[in-house]
Amino acid sequence: MSAGDGVAVITLDNPPVNALSFAYCKQLLTAIESAERDPGVRAVVITGANGIFSAGADVNDFAAEPQADAVSVRDIIAAIERSEKTYVAAIDGNCLGGGLELALACDYRGASARSKLGLPEIRLGLIPGAGGTQRLPRLIGARPALELMLKGSSISAERAVELGVLDEITGGELTETASEFARRVADHPTADAPRKRRISAREAVIGDGVPKIALPYVAAQAHKMVPPEEKGGLAAHKLIDAVQAAVEMPFPLGIARESRLFEELVRSKPSLGLRHVFFAERELSKIPGVTLPQTQRDIGGERVGVVGAGTMGSGIAIAFAQSGIPVTVVDTNDEAVERARQTVMGMFMYQVQKGKLTQEEGWKRAQSITFTEDWNELAAADLVVEAVFENLGVKRDVFAKLDGIAEPDAFLATNTSTLDIDRIAEATKRPERVLGLHFFVPANIMPLLEIVRGAETSPEAIAFGFAVGKSLRKKAVLSGNAFGFIGNRMIFDYLREAMALAEEGNAPARVDAVMRNFGFPMGPFAMSDLSGLDVGRQIAQGRGDEGKARTDVLGRLVEMGRLGQKSMAGFFKYDRSIGRGREPIADPVVEEIFAGEARAAGIAPRHADDVEVRERLLYALVNRGAYLLEEGVALRPGDIDIVYVYGYGFPPHHGGPMWYADEVGLDRVYARIREFESQFGPQWKPSALLAKMASFDKELAHA
């Protein structure tokens, strides 16, 4: 704390994000109490170091049982609330969660133009717990406050001024300007700028001139607009209750309601699952046994090449262009190139129409992607990503050609989803600079990126892969080199059970409905239609005996031209006149094919209830995930969970398949897998790791 001319400046300085942990809040409370005792201090400015105000509370504290003498951000805010001195928040950079709640407790708030403000607690299955649900509705109205908190995203300083969250955007030296303002208000208050301006003393309104008598109706409508509690909406419903309390109750009672709701949520399964995902993300770039060198390259200044202008190649090119990285796409198929040009231009024009880009920005990004037939245009690239047909021979030919064109220090990456990275790297003289960069469709939208290391992939190449992921704002997960890597290797077992259930007479539409009810955006059969049944068949054939199914339903559908969404028929039918033609429609023809193939294979019909459907699909993921941990393909259970949450739509409030196994109870999951092994065959043999963890009553997510 520094003080001068009647103003004390308290600087939040707890690197890297100025988290308001219990330990740091104790120091902060000491500084505030010191300023309160000093008769020469008439005003206090709170600002942040490290180019940030505060990212909020330390999430680690949520899981800890607070000690009797623990100090939280609530205690800091209570001290400010009791004070008769003027408090000004001088905000620079991020002001999130508890950081914004601290700022809301101050009398005035000014910020730099680059600042971002928000209350993102909903993303962790929580609500703001330090007065945010009570002060923000009193400041800007219940409806806009609720909208801001339900989205959980940050807003710009400009938008915060429009809403009334900020008083002004401050130019010049932030702390100096805030100090001058605080001194003036403390010494010469006016009706427009009083010495004290507590938000807690205000009365909350709904907003937009809506009378308070309409509150029950507004709250009921809000409850209808968020997911049900059992489908990940628990925190959203509690948040609506808290904001309703802000309008209905005096401030002290509203704060008490908020505190109770927060404590309920912090121990809830959805919040525990979401916080697991949060912490798993933090661990992604920590590679045990490998010291990742601090690469000197700035991926933003790299030159990138892509081989292949198909759906995946054009999506990868767009992903780089969106991050401001120029791309050269090589393809000799004129028709594919023309489609890719249209896709690129259409994507950026769509972003312009949605207001996400200016017309100039959209045009500039579209023009940063160059299409050519000349492979020599890749000679200057620092990274070349191959995105051609999923065939080992074709990919080896591409890499052999690239090896002779690209600079010796260039990295060569394959986007293969299943093939052997080492076999591909063998086609080059630089296997240490070959890696997998497995994007997910559509590559410019899906947030997951699997980084696959071969036997000779260097730490520098792995580090560069993570740099690519960071530049593209992807969740980058390291995988070992194994068939299907992490995500696709597990999905084969998931789809195996979906097919088995349908062969037993359980309609694909019902199987899909069960998984949607669990929280997946689509079921296994609709997902297969989206990927393409021809692609699935080709991959299964490439696996030899391991990929051989009990029936040839997939082959029959492909031979009928039912390739999935792209042909408007697969496991389901699709109708272009309905929405965008992507709504699956149950087809009795497919059910008849399943029944006929099952009879020919001697598979007896049997009804599986919804619980069995869910267990067979989810426990297949769990068991294969445990095998991948045993084999070292996946480094951590959390890595698997990140892959499934961000790549396959696993409901995040269940934390991913490995976390979900612990949520159910690992002993119960293991026992059920043993039952499935006895009932259905050796494909259900439980992994040794799973058996060990269950026998010792351990948690799989912390294996």
**What are the residue numbers of the active site?**
101, 121
Copy the structure tokens of residue 623: 């068991």
What residues contact 256, with CB distance under 8 A and at least 6 apart? none
Alpha-carbon distance of 641 to 647, in angstroms, equals 10
Alpha-carbon distance of 375 to 403, in angstroms, equals 11
Contact criterion met (CB below 8 Å) for 657 and 626: no
- The number of beta carbons lying within 10 Å of the beta carbon of residue 393 is 10
Total count of residues recorded for the chain: 703
Largest pairwise CA distance in the chain = 92
- The dihedrals phi and psi of 328, each to the nearest 5 degrees, come to -110, 120
- The dihedrals phi and psi of 4, each to the nearest 5 degrees, come to -170, 140
Would you give the DSSP letter of residue 121? Answer: G
Alpha-carbon distance of 683 to 139, in angstroms, equals 59
Q: What separation in angstroms does the CA of 701 have from each of 123, 276, 625, 652?
A: 20, 9, 11, 14
Copy the structure tokens of residue 43: 């005003």
Alpha-carbon distance of 169 to 399, in angstroms, equals 53
- The number of beta carbons lying within 10 Å of the beta carbon of residue 163 is 18
Alpha-carbon distance of 43 to 174, in angstroms, equals 16
Burial class (CB in 10 A: 0-12, 13-18, 19+), 359: exposed
Q: What separation in angstroms does the CA of 362 have from each of 290, 314, 368?
A: 40, 16, 10
Copy the structure tokens of residue 276: 């697991």
Amino acid, res. 672: R
Contact criterion met (CB below 8 Å) for 641 and 656: yes
Alpha-carbon distance of 342 to 364, in angstroms, equals 15
Alpha-carbon distance of 662 to 656, in angstroms, equals 10
- The number of beta carbons lying within 10 Å of the beta carbon of residue 37 is 8
Copy the structure tokens of residue 252: 């002290």
Q: What separation in angstroms does the CA of 250 have from each of 135, 136, 215, 237, 495?
A: 11, 14, 15, 21, 54
What does DSSP say about strands 448-453 and 434-439: parallel, antiparallel, or unpaired?
Answer: antiparallel
Alpha-carbon distance of 669 to 243, in angstroms, equals 39
- Residues paired with residue 272 on neighbouring β-strands, in sequence order: none
> CA-based Rg of the chain, rounded to a whole angstrom?
28
- The number of beta carbons lying within 10 Å of the beta carbon of residue 439 is 24
- Side-chain-side CA neighbours of 275 within 13 Å: the count stands at 17
Enumerate long-range contacts of 30-33, CB under 8 Å, 24 or more apart: 31/1, 32/76, 32/79, 32/80, 33/79
The angle at the Cα of 230, spanning 227 to 235, to the nearest 5 degrees, equals: 65
